[in-house]
């Protein structure tokens, strides 16, 4: 039995009852739901299916073949957790979810996978013929990943967290690029399996991505500040002859906002260190120029 579970096997029909065909492989019996058969099966008919123990602890085969199998990794969806046991992952079977043991999961509750998160798992069979889900390690993610190019810089992306490290968060994008999020590029540490949204801030020589989960400058500041930042960015000198002492009508005519709005926008940009202010006007800093180019 140990070498059959978690795999696609060939079986033959030996009996039936009202709901199931009874099929056998290597002397072991499994049930096969009649609802999955597209026609009536006679004794001796062959059935190819995935072998597992269902939630009622009956051995069953299904023609619904999950991508996660013994020796095969694929993403499954977390459906619930059980204290002291681990998290249950749906890999696509109609009546069985598999447990990722608590031994493979973070010890901090806030970093544990939650319902709806994604984990890349294969299946393993223990000495008692129980199937467990097993997390993919970094070697697996490296094997399935693609190399990014500099053309990917500044692109928005969605990624899944697959490893938590003191140095930062490891993710794999929906396009199968590997990425790294430094603690300075996130507002909080994402949990294992969480899907995050970010942008590419660098491409490493090995084809991996450096990713930021923080918003772009224009997303992190007020609308008026973003408009002022963009206006400065379009000026060749990156300078505008306006200060908090400028005429309100001149500010209104040039920017379309009140002097109060202008002063608040300048305050936001000063706080973000995107501009410098003098008696003659406001000028983008080097950081401000980079922020303006992101818009």
**Is there a domain that residue 116 lies in?**
yes
pLDDT per residue over 223-233, tens digit each?
Answer: 788 888 888 98
Q: Are residues 180 and 199 located together in one domain of the fold?
A: yes
Quote the pLDDT of residue 66.
Answer: 97
Q: List the structure tokens of 97.
A: 């979810």
Are 17 and 52 part of one and the same domain?
yes
The answer, as to whether pTM is greater than 0.85, is no
Indicate the residue among 212, 237, 265 that finishes a domain.
212
Taking only the tens place, the pLDDT of each residue in 143-154 is 999 999 887 777
* Residue 276 sits in the same domain as residue 235: yes
State the total domains in the chain: 4
Domain of residue 35, CATH code = 2.40.50.330
Q: Residue 168: its pLDDT value, please?
A: 94
- Is residue 14 a part of any domain in this protein? yes
Looking up residue 94, the CATH number of its domain turns out to be: 2.40.50.140
Regions of the chain short of the pLDDT cut 70: 216-221, 294-295
Are both 202 and 224 inside the same structural domain?
no
> Is 104 within the bounds of a domain?
yes
Asked whether residue 120 falls in the same domain as residue 156, the answer is no
Angle at 228 between CA 231 and CA 249, to 5 degrees: 100
Domain extent at residue 98: 74-136
- Do residue 90 and residue 55 come from a single domain? no
Tell me which residue of 13, 52, 25, 20 sits closest to 36, measured CA to CA: 20
pLDDT of 23? 97
Ramachandran quadrant class, 131 (left: phi over 0; alpha: psi -120 to 50; beta: rest): beta
Does the residue 2 lie in any domain? Answer: no
Query: Domain ends where: 42, 62, 82?
Result: 62
106 domain-assigned: yes
Q: What is the pLDDT of residue 51?
A: 97
Q: Note the pLDDT of residue 221.
A: 65
CA atoms within 13 A on the CB side of 9: 26
Q: 208 and 254, same structural domain? A: no
Residue where a domain stops, chosen among 172, 196, 212:
212
pLDDT given at position 167: 93
99 with 161, same domain? no
Tell me: do 26 and 81 sit in the same domain: no
Specify whether 23 is located in the same domain as 41.
yes
């Amino acid at each position: 039995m140990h070498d059959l579970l978690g795999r696609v096997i060939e079986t033959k029909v030996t009996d039936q009852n009202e709901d199931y065909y009874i099929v056998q492989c290597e002397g072991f019996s499994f049930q096969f739901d009649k609802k999955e058969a597209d026609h009536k099966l006679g004794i001796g008919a062959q059935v190819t299916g995935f072998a597992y123990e269902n939630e009622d602890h009956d051995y069953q085969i299904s023609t619904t073949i999950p991508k996660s199998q013994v020796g095969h990794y694929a993403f499954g969806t977390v459906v619930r957790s059980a204290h002291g046991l681990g998290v249950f992952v749906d890999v696509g079977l109609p009546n069985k979810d598999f447990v990722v043991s608590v031994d493979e999961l973070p010890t901090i509750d806030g970093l544990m996978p939650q319902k709806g998160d994604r984990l890349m798992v294969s299946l393993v069979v223990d000495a008692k013929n129980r199937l467990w889900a097993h997390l993919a390690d970094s070697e697996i993610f490296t094997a399935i990943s693609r190399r990014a190019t500099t053309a990917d810089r500044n692109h928005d992306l969605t990624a899944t967290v697959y490893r938590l490290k003191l140095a930062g968060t490891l993710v794999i994008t929906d396009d199968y690029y590997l990425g790294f999020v430094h603690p300075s590029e996130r507002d909080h540490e994402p949990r294992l399996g969480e899907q995050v949204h970010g942008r590419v801030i660098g491409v490493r020589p090995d084809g991996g991505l450096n990713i930021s989960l923080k918003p772009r400058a224009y997303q992190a500041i007020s609308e008026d500040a973003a408009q002022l930042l963009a206006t400065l960015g379009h000026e060749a000198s990156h300078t505008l002859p306006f200060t908090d002492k400028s005429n309100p009508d001149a500010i209104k005519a040039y920017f379309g906002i009140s002097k109060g709005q202008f002063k608040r926008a300048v305050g936001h940009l000063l706080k973000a260190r995107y501009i410098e202010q003098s008696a003659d006007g406001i000028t983008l800093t080097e950081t401000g120029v980079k922020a303006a180019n992101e818009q």
